[in-house]
Structure formats: C-alpha cells, structure tokens
Structure 1
C-alpha cells in the first residue's frame, strides 16, 4: 500500500476526529475538474482501500462557456479511463445567475446521491473558500449563521433529514496547498477561465480584495477569517440549542403564535433565533434581519400592534399574551 503524504494524513485525521465519514460508505464526489476537486478525489482514492469506500463522481456542466463544455468532455473521457463510476449533468436551460446555478447543481447532487444510494456527498471546499464566504456574506449583510455557513458537515438539503450528508474534508487546507498537491501528483487540472471573470463578485473578492488585505493589512487574513468563522459557529450552535429548549415554552401551533412573556424574558439573541425559526415556518424563504426585528419590537408593544405585511400575505400582531401570525383574508368569491 502506497505511503501517504502529510496532506493525506491531515485529511484522514480530520475525517476521523470530526467523524465526517465512516468505513464502507458509498461516496459521491462533486467534481468540477479544478485543483481542489482533483486534490479531493485523489486523496479519497488513495484512502479508499483503508476505508473500504465506494466512490462515485458527478460533474455538472453549467454551459456558461464553450470552455466549460470542453472541460465536461475532457473529464468524461478521463473518468472513463480511470474506471470510476460517474455521470455528467448538463444544464438545460442554462442558469446564468450564480444562485440559480448553485440550486440546480445541488439538485443534481441530491438526485445522483439517491440514485447511487450514497450516504455522503463530498466537496472540495477549502479554508480559502471559507474565508471568502465569510467576507462575502459579511459584505452582503448576514448574522452568525451566514458568517459560519461553510461547515465541515451538514445535510445536503437542510430541510430534508433523509438527504445525504454534505461533507467537506479539505476545510483544513488552503488553496495553495491543493495547488501544490496537484502539481506533485501531476493531476490534469482543468483551469476554469470563468474564475478570472471579475463580473462575478466572488471572483473580484478572491482576485483583488483578499490579496489587497494580505498585502496591506494582514498577510494571514485567510487564517484570521477562518478563526472568526469557527468561533461564531460554536456560539451560534449554543444559541440554537438554547432556542430549541425555549421553543416548547413559547410556541403555540394552534394560533400560530408565540407566548410573549417567556420570550420577552429571554436574552435578545434567543428572541431573534426563536422568531427566525417561527417565521421560517410561515414564509416562503428564510426571513431577513428586518423581518425578524419587526417581530422583536412587538414583544414589548401594546395590544393590537402589528408588523408590516410579510411576503406571501400575513403579518405579526399582538393578541393578548401572544404574538400571533395573521393571514390576509382571502377575497370573498363573487356569486
């Protein structure tokens, strides 16, 4: 059995210590053809005999350029040569926005994880990605959950407990390390030209903002941002756990509504988390900061006070001891 490099051992140590994967699992590798995913696939294959994994590979072609389609053709041929079970998905229609493309990509990962009966979907996200995500979400405006959103392990579909686990074993590595690994093992990395397009905000952050911060403010800015994300993740998990304990004391599903007195007595962080959870049950999307704050203000407001209308029709209103959800009445049908 081939000797493992220090990078192999670091990834294997992270898998064991954090219980990211188990022996004998069927793994679906999200494979873009870039350096991070090539590094990930090579490490998993080198560990495969030790862990008795079955590895499947999925590549998603967004069709954003001819180069991306050429990449999909190259990867299909390479995967066939490697004898790896794989699939190539092609977007139809094309999702031109990053958010829409991400939704489509995760839909394909979920579909193929179920098709191949894979318990885990493994991606090549690194500590560099987590630093970028932290800074990107900070600039866009978010709370602790958004700042610590790139974690080692979570459900692929967080609203579906039957979905596969999304696992990121390379989250302890930086991008320069995966680049060096690919060079050392002579892996045929496909350079993604779209990553150089400054029209995409994330690319500008990666290519201009973070290098500027490294040069002029902190050469270890990626490590600093990762530390902040790790600290916030632990604090957010504590708030979520305490909110779960408070939830049965305040939630009244029959209204639906929340009991104001016990919620008003809780710390502000718990008030916000409970209101976020409550509104998430009612709104078609995750509630915004402003929508949660509108509910927080009503905890101390007088009777009949109400919030502005929420998307989808409805509002929060103070009714006796409750903060109740009121749906907009349907227009009466004409006879």
Structure 2
C-alpha cells in the first residue's frame, strides 16, 4: 500500500509538470523525511522528463546542530550530483510565524530571480491537520482554516505544488526507511515552547487516546467541507461585487449590499477595499461600516476614517477615498 503511495506521488508530480509545461523546478528542502522523499522522486523524474531542478535550504540558525544539518544536506545533494542553494538567516528567532514568512519570501524571491516555474514543498497531511489546529486556536477565518491547497499561484507565472498533502507522516517515514534515505533527526521538533510541537506531541495524541481515535480523518473531512463552502462564498462575493460596482468611481451600491447575508456583506467590503486601494480592513472596522450602511437613519455621510482613507455614503453609494 505504501509502495502505491510512492507511485501516486510520482504520477501526480509528473502529471502537473506535463500539464503546465514545467521545465525548471525549485524544491524547498529541510533535510527531514518529507523533503528527502521528494528528492528521490524528483531525481527520477529529471532523467525521464529532461528537467532542470535545483534545491534550496533555509537555515534559521536556531539550533545547536544547524551547521551539522547544513553539511548533511549539502553532502547528500553532492552525492546525487545536483545543485543546492543555502540561505542563512542572521536574525535568530523562535517565532514560527516569523520564520515561515521569512522562509517563503526568500524562496519566492529566489524562484523569481532565477526563472523557476515551479516551487515544490514537502507539506504533508499531518502538517495540514496541525496547521488547522493552530489556526483554530488563533481564531482564524474560514480561509485560513483550509489554506494548504495542493497547488497555488504564488508570483506571476510561478506555481507552488504540495504533492504530499494527502499523505500522512508515518507513510512517508516508512518509504524513507524502505529505501534507506538519509533522514536528519531535527531536535527542534521536541521543543515544547514551539506551539506546533505541543500540538503534534501532546494535543493530538491526547485526543486520539481519550476522546476520538479518528480525529485526524475527521479533521480532513471537515477541511474538505470548509474548502467547498469557502469556494462557494468566494464565487458569490465576486458576482455580487461586480453587480454592485459603480461604472466610473471607486464605489459600490450599499442598497444592493445590505440585502445580503452578513458574511457576504463583510467579504464584499473586504474585496472592495483591496481591489481599489490594496488595504485589509480590520473586522471591527468592517462591522462598523456594515452597521452604518444597514442603519435606516444615516446622520453623517462619513462613516469612519482608517489610516489615510475616508469611508462615506452619498445617495445610494458607499465610497472610499484618500484623505486630502
């Protein structure tokens, strides 16, 4: 069964490469089982499909063994006669969010600079579940609860693929052991001050043992439902936004907005603000705008002021303008 998973992953990547006519690939690696597993697959496909592929490693230097891990990764890439680029982060931090943002920025900028068409990462199904639980704890929106898609567009003509997103960590580990792949054991996975590690090592095992043994499968089903619900909401918002737009000015018809469901009103205003001025309005501000729009008696045309922008109502239109 696990051998079949290996073939499915290889087939998925191969299909994606052919569909989008990919010739140049950048694989983000960590030295862990997910990235080592992907290196094995990619090295096979390079010969079959005549691909150009390179590897990128981001060293946050937050571990005592960082130098040894870098050497391990470089030695393995040299052994398979491929190329690797290593970036070292001078500012050391244990904030996972900061590291993730920094890592993604470096990878995307590197891909853009050197004309890579596709970025591949090693996110797996277990990562997906852990990310969901982290976002749930933070009180994130429905988009954030299901934000790890198999593929996405990250920058102009650069695509990102997560081919392991349906595979659990234990299956990947089994395949790596079967092929004697050199997995690096990351000591930071056992630092409990990192929230993800507590979720992985304590919270999920506790829920599986005492509350529900199929919690991981249940979360996967929930995320699938979230995805389709979110897609439906997105399509509805775009349709309503287009219908309510002013044909000349940066304005939308608030009479068409205030008849909609509350969540659609929030999303339409968010889209309006971002589409015209690339600003992300806080939920508290959006709710204040909606309450003003839905109010039967509007005392003042100006609703709120946010940074350098004024939000106001005139006749049946909701406007956003820059302060003068």
1:295 lines up with 2:289 in the alignment? yes
1:140 paired residue number? 138
> Structure 1: which 5+ residue stretches go unaligned?
330-335
Q: 1:191 aligns with which of 181, 185, 188?
A: 185
Aligned-pair CA distance for 1:308: 5.2
Q: Decide whether the 8 Å contact of 1:298 with 1:306 is kept in 2.
A: no
1:325 paired residue number? 320
Q: 2:91 aligns with which of 90, 93, 96?
A: 93
CA distance in 2, matches of 1:132, 1:7: 21
CA distance in 1, matches of 2:201, 2:170: 14
> Structure 2: which 5+ residue stretches go unaligned?
none
Q: Decide whether the 8 Å contact of 2:233 with 2:264 is kept in 1.
A: yes
Change in 2 beyond 3 A, CA 1:134/1:120:
same
Q: Deviations over 1:77-132 (max 9, x none)?
A: 22122211210111133354322222221122112212432111000101111111
Q: Secondary structure at the match of 1:299?
A: helix
Q: Decide whether the 8 Å contact of 2:311 with 2:318 is kept in 1.
A: yes
1:126 paired residue number? 124
Q: Secondary structure at the match of 2:166?
A: coil
2:227 paired residue number? 233
Q: 1:74 aligns with which of 60, 63, 72?
A: 72
Aligned-pair CA distance for 1:25: 2.6
CA distance in 1, matches of 2:102, 2:270: 26
Q: 2:197 aligns with which of 179, 194, 203?
A: 203
RMSD: 2.6
Q: Secondary structure at the match of 1:154?
A: strand
CA distance in 2, matches of 1:292, 1:253: 23
Q: 1:217 aligns with which of 195, 211, 215?
A: 211
Change in 2 beyond 3 A, CA 1:254/1:64:
farther
Aligned-pair CA distance for 1:72: 1.3
Q: 1:172 aligns with which of 147, 163, 166?
A: 166
Task: Report which stretch shifted further, 217-226 or 262-271.
Answer: 262-271
Aligned-pair CA distance for 1:16: 6.6
1:41 lines up with 2:36 in the alignment? no
Change in 2 beyond 3 A, CA 1:289/1:225:
farther
1:333 paired residue number? none
Aligned length: 321
1:332 paired residue number? none
Q: Decide whether the 8 Å contact of 1:59 with 1:89 is kept in 2.
A: yes
1:26 paired residue number? 24
Change in 2 beyond 3 A, CA 1:229/1:287:
farther
Change in 2 beyond 3 A, CA 1:178/1:287:
farther
Aligned-pair CA distance for 1:225: 1.1
Task: Report which stretch shifted further, 142-151 or 112-121.
Answer: 112-121
TM-score by length of 2: 0.88
Q: Deviations over 1:166-201 (max 9, x none)?
A: 110001100111111111111111111112111111
1:278 lines up with 2:276 in the alignment? no
1:153 paired residue number? 151
Q: Secondary structure at the match of 1:198?
A: coil
Q: Decide whether the 8 Å contact of 1:258 with 1:323 is kept in 2.
A: yes
Q: Decide whether the 8 Å contact of 1:15 with 1:21 is kept in 2.
A: no
Q: Decide whether the 8 Å contact of 2:273 with 2:279 is kept in 1.
A: no
CA distance in 2, matches of 1:21, 1:195: 36
Change in 2 beyond 3 A, CA 1:114/1:328:
closer
Change in 2 beyond 3 A, CA 1:16/1:290:
farther
1:316 lines up with 2:314 in the alignment? no
CA distance in 2, matches of 1:45, 1:275: 47
